[in-house]
């Protein structure tokens, strides 16, 4: 535990980790328990950001779609709504 990086405040370590990909951050979890805890926080925050952004996009698209199902299928945003629904399924599995 003589690693100078781990002696930094959590906020500083999170800032450093923000320059890495989520895959690279997940690999760092095996370093030690403290790094595992910090990486979990960063990964969970990233996941929550994705969920919020997806929800925002879905609300915006649904607000522009027609109310009737027959009109909704022919709308220019129908494909976007289908893709967002598929992404929602994947997110719920995570």
- Asked if residues 32 and 21 have their Cβ atoms less than 8 Å apart, the reply is no
**Distance between CA atoms of 7 and 29, rounded to whole angstroms?**
16
Rounded mean pLDDT, 28-47: 92
**Distance between CA atoms of 13 and 10, rounded to whole angstroms?**
5
Percent of the chain scoring above 70 in pLDDT: 89
Q: Which of 32-36, 46-50, 71-75, 77-81 is predicted least confidently?
A: 71-75
- Asked if residues 47 and 22 have their Cβ atoms less than 8 Å apart, the reply is no
Higher pLDDT: 22 or 93? It is 22
């Amino acid at each position: 535990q003589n690693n100078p990086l781990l002696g930094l405040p959590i906020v500083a370590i999170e800032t450093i980790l923000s320059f890495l990909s989520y895959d690279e951050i997940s690999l760092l979890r095996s370093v030690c328990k403290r790094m595992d805890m910090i990486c979990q926080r960063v990964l969970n925050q990233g996941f929550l950001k994705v969920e919020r952004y997806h929800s925002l996009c879905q609300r915006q698209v649904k607000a522009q779609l027609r109310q009737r199902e027959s009109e909704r299928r022919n709308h220019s945003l129908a494909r976007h709504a289908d893709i967002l629904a598929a992404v929602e399924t994947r997110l719920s599995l995570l």
